[in-house]
Structure 1
Amino acid sequence: MTQVHAFETVAIHAGQEPDSSTGAVVVPIYQTSTYQQDGVGVLRGGYEYSRAGNPTRTALEECLAALEGSTYASAFASGLAAEDAVVRAVCAPGDHILIPDDPYGGSLRLFTRVLQRWGLSASPVSLSDLDAVRAAIRPETRLIWCETPTNPLLRVPDIAGLAGVAAEAGALLAVDNTFASPYLQQPLALGADIVVHSTTKYIGGHSDVVGGAAIVRDAELAEHIQFHQYAAGAIAGPFDAWLTLRGLKTLGVRMDRHCDNAERIAAALDAHSAVSQVLYPGLPSHPGHEIARKQMRRFGGMISFRLAGGEQAALDLCAGTRIFTLAESLGGVESLIEHPARMTHASAAGTALEVPADLVRISVGIENADDLITDLIGALG
C-alpha cells in the first residue's frame, strides 16, 4: 500500500490485493510444495519451493511488516521458532544476552537449556531498572531480550530507554510484543531493532493456529533471519499463514474489546477482599502505569493477580470458574485462566525466577464483561 492508512485499514489490505487471475478478495491458500520454473533458475514470481517462500506466507509477512512499521518480516511455525532464529542470526557461540528476570517459561527453557549448550550465556535482570541493565552488560553482550508487558508479572519496561542502553553497548534490542500486539504497541518506532510475536495469541486470535513472526528494521539482519529460517525449516505452512492472516483482519476491533473487558475486570478484582494484589498496567497503582500510558495505545487484555489465601486459593479459583476455561495460552476470543507456577512457568520452578505460587493469570476474552465479572467473583467466593 503506497498511501499511509490507519491500522485497521492496513490490517485488512496490506499484502492482500485481490488475486490477479481470479479476482478472489481473500488471499488463496497456496497448498503446494513446489512451483513450475519457466526455465532452469528462471522463477515465476520468485517462488521455487515452499520452504523458501509461499504466496500465502508472503501475504502474511507483508501485512505483519506493515503493521509494525517495517518492510521485513518472517512468519514462523511458532513464536519460539522465531525467537530461536533471531538469537542464532544475531549471536554466535560465546556471546551473552540479557533476559527479563520474569521471562516467559518457554523462553527461559530455550535460553538456558537449549542455547546454553550452543555456547550462549544468558543473565536475568530487571529490565525496568535501566541502571541494573547497564551494570549487567558485558563486553560480549550482543542482545537484550525484552518482554513488555512481561509474562506473567505484567511489568512494563521502557522500550525507548532500553533501546538507548542497547545502542550505547553496541547491542541489539529485541522485544517480544505478544502481550500487546502491534495494535497496542509498536516497538520499532520506539527504537527496538527486532520485534517477535507468538502469532498464536492475539494476532491469530481464535485459538486455532500456532505460529510466530520476527519483524526487523535492518535489511541485512532480515536476510540473516531469513537464511536461518530457510536452513532450519521452521516456516509457517500455507494454511497456518492463511488462518493467521484472517485473524489479523479483526485484530483492532478485538483488542478494543479485550481492553474494555480487562479494565472492568481489573477494577473489580482490585476491590475484592480475596485478592491481595492486581497486576494490570491500566491501574494507576501499577508501577509501570505511566510508561504503559506513554508507549501503549491501551493496556491490554492480560491480568495477573495474587490471592490472599495463598496457593490453594489460587488453585481453587482456577478450578471454580465456568466461563473462564482452565487452559494455557492466551489472546483468543474466549477467556482463559491458569496457574503460572504449575502450568506455563513450571520450567522456572526451584530457581530464582520462579513465579509466586499464589499468582493467577487470566486472558480476558471478548465475551460480555458482566458475565465474566460474575464468573470470577462467584468463584472467588
Structure 2
Amino acid sequence: MKDTRPATVHGSRAEWRDETLVLHGDSAQGDSSSVVPPIYYSATFRATDAADFVEMASTPRHSTYYTRYGNPTHDRVAAIVAELEGTETALLTGSGMGAISTTALSLLKAGDHLIAQTRHYMATAKLFDELLPRLGVEVSLVEQSDADLIEASLRAETKLIMLETPANPTLVLTDLRRIASMARPRGILTVADNTFASPINQKPHALGIDIVVHSATKALGGHHDLMAGVICCSNALAERIWATHIILGSVLSPMDGWLLLRGVRTLSLRMARINDNALELAAWLERHPMVERVYYPGLSSHPQHDLATRQMTGFGPVIALAVRGGFEAASRFVASLSLAIQAVSLGGVHTLVVHTAAMWAGTMTESQMRDANIVPNLVRLAVGLEHIDDLKRDFDVALNAI
C-alpha cells in the first residue's frame, strides 16, 4: 500500500509523513518546554484533595495516578505509535507477549471460538495451544496463506481472528484486507501482529484490521536494550483491554518507556536502511551456491510476492534460508559468522542470526515444526544496519566454511 499523503507538514497532523510523526507525534502530550521529554520515574502521583483523588482513581487510563494505570512517558510513545498505525489510541505493556495475551484475555471468554494461524511466534502459539483452551476458549489453527480456509472455519461462536504477517520464521503472508472483509460484517474482531513488518512497512488498520499489536522490543525500540509491547486500536477497545491490563499487571517501566520513545524517533531511518540491506542480502543469498532456498517477501521467488507488494511498502529485516548440507552444516554456518550475532530477536541495529531448528526444538514438537516448515537446515537472519558489503563478505566466508 503506497503512501499517498501530501508531503507538506503544514495543516493537520493527518498530512504528516511517518518521518515527521516519529518526531512530532507526541507534541500534544505533556510539557512542551523541553526538547527531550523527561522520564516520569514515579510509581504514584500526588492528588490535590479528596475530589481530585476520586477523579484520578476512577478515570480509565489516567496517566498521573499510578503507573500500572498509566504514565506520562507512556502517553508520548502511545501517541506516536497510534499515529503511525492510524488508530485512535494505543496502550503500552511490559512485553510483546503482554500485548498479545492481554488483548486475547480481554476479548475472549469461555465458549468463544478463536481462529489463529498455523504459524505464529512460538509464545503466541503456546497461548493458543495451552492457556486459552484451559479457560474454555476453542481455538482453530488454520493455514494463513489460504483465506478461503479461514473463511470456512468461521462459526457463530467465532469472536476473534488472530493474524501475524509476515509470520515467524518462514515469512508466510496473510491477506489482511481479505480477512478484514470477511470478519467485520459478522462482528468478528481482528488482531494483527505487525512486529515483523513495523508500521513503516505495513499498516494493517488501513486494510481493515481492528487491533494492531507489536513486540516493541523489536523494531520500535530498535537497539536490543528494552522489552515492551504496544496495542493499537479504538478508544472503546482500549478501555476494554486496559481493564484487563491493570488486573494482569504487564506494566512497562517508565525508563523502558523513555528508551522506547528514543528508539521510535529513528524508526523511519532505521527501517529504510534495514529494508535496503535485507532485500539486497536476500537476492545475493539466493544466488549463492551453498544456499538451497531463501524466503523473503521482497523477492519475486516468494510465492506470495504479489500480495507483499500490495499490502507492504517495504519487506522488513527477517530472511529465512535453507543452507546446503543439513542440520550440521547449518550449525557450522551460524558458528562461522563474525558480524552477525547468534541471538534471538529482530529489528534492531545489529544483525542477528539463529539456527531455527535448534532454537525451536526445545519448545515445539517435531509435528509442530513440520507444520511450520522448520526444516533442519533452516536459518533465520534479522538484518541490521551494517554496511551491506561487510555483511555479504561475512556471510560468504561462513557459507564457504560449511
TM bucket (normalised to shorter chain) is over 0.9
- Give 1:28's aligned residue: 38
Rounded to whole Å, the distance in 1 between the matches of 2:367 and 2:361 is 11
Moved more, 346-355 or 291-300: 346-355
Moved more, 121-130 or 286-295: 121-130
Moved more, 124-133 or 242-251: 124-133
SS of equivalent residue, structure 2 residue 367: coil
Change (3 A) 1:289 1:81: same
CA contact (8 A) 2:29 2:75 kept: no
Map 1:69-218 to 2 at 5 A: 69-216=86-233, 218=234
Change (3 A) 1:74 1:170: same
SS of equivalent residue, structure 1 residue 348: coil
- Give 1:286's aligned residue: 302
- Give 1:367's aligned residue: 386
Structure 1 portions without partners, runs of 5+:
none
CA contact (8 A) 1:89 1:225 kept: yes
Rounded to whole Å, the distance in 2 between the matches of 1:198 and 1:168 is 29
Shift of 1:137: 2.0
Q: CA offsets per residue over residues 282-311 of structure 1, 9 Å max, x none?
A: 101111111111111111111001122111
SS of equivalent residue, structure 2 residue 398: helix
- Give 1:259's aligned residue: 275
Count of aligned pairs:
379
Moved more, 163-172 or 260-269: 163-172
- Give 1:250's aligned residue: 266
Rounded to whole Å, the distance in 1 between the matches of 2:355 and 2:153 is 31
SS of equivalent residue, structure 1 residue 311: helix
For residue 335 of structure 1, the aligned residue among 339, 344, 351 is 351
Shift of 1:46: 5.6
Rounded to whole Å, the distance in 2 between the matches of 1:345 and 1:333 is 27
Rounded to whole Å, the distance in 2 between the matches of 1:235 and 1:157 is 30
SS of equivalent residue, structure 2 residue 123: helix
For residue 377 of structure 1, the aligned residue among 388, 392, 396 is 396
- Give 1:276's aligned residue: 292
- Give 1:358's aligned residue: 377
Q: State TM-score, norm by structure 1.
A: 0.95
Structure 2 portions without partners, runs of 5+:
1-10, 57-61
CA contact (8 A) 2:63 2:69 kept: no
Whether 1:219 aligns to 2:235 is: yes
For residue 63 of structure 1, the aligned residue among 70, 76, 80 is 80
The amino acid that maps onto 2:21 is V
Q: CA offsets per residue over residues 56-75 of structure 1, 9 Å max, x none?
A: 01111111111111122100
The amino acid that maps onto 1:67 is L
CA contact (8 A) 1:105 1:346 kept: no
CA contact (8 A) 2:118 2:144 kept: yes
Change (3 A) 1:249 1:152: same
- Give 2:316's aligned residue: 300
CA contact (8 A) 2:119 2:144 kept: no
Rounded to whole Å, the distance in 2 between the matches of 1:16 and 1:273 is 51
Q: CA offsets per residue over residues 310-336 of structure 1, 9 Å max, x none?
A: 111111111110000011111110000
SS of equivalent residue, structure 2 residue 316: coil
Shift of 1:139: 2.5
- Give 2:47's aligned residue: 37
CA contact (8 A) 1:18 1:26 kept: no
Q: CA offsets per residue over residues 331-368 of structure 1, 9 Å max, x none?
A: 11000000222215742232333522221000000001
SS of equivalent residue, structure 1 residue 342: helix
Moved more, 341-350 or 323-332: 341-350
Rounded to whole Å, the distance in 2 between the matches of 1:57 and 1:167 is 30
Change (3 A) 1:52 1:152: same
Q: CA offsets per residue over residues 70-129 of structure 1, 9 Å max, x none?
A: 122100000001101110111111222122112111111122122221222222211111
Rounded to whole Å, the distance in 2 between the matches of 1:11 and 1:317 is 38
Whether 1:52 aligns to 2:74 is: no
- Give 2:22's aligned residue: 11
Change (3 A) 1:104 1:281: same
Change (3 A) 1:135 1:175: same
SS of equivalent residue, structure 1 residue 145: strand
Q: CA offsets per residue over residues 240-262 of structure 1, 9 Å max, x none?
A: 11011111000001001001111
Identity of matched residues, %:
39
- Give 2:5's aligned residue: none
Rounded to whole Å, the distance in 2 between the matches of 1:49 and 1:91 is 27
Superposition CA RMSD, Å: 1.7
CA contact (8 A) 2:226 2:259 kept: yes
The amino acid that maps onto 1:250 is T
Rounded to whole Å, the distance in 1 between the matches of 2:29 and 2:140 is 48
Shift of 1:19: 5.9
SS of equivalent residue, structure 1 residue 122: strand
Change (3 A) 1:135 1:323: same
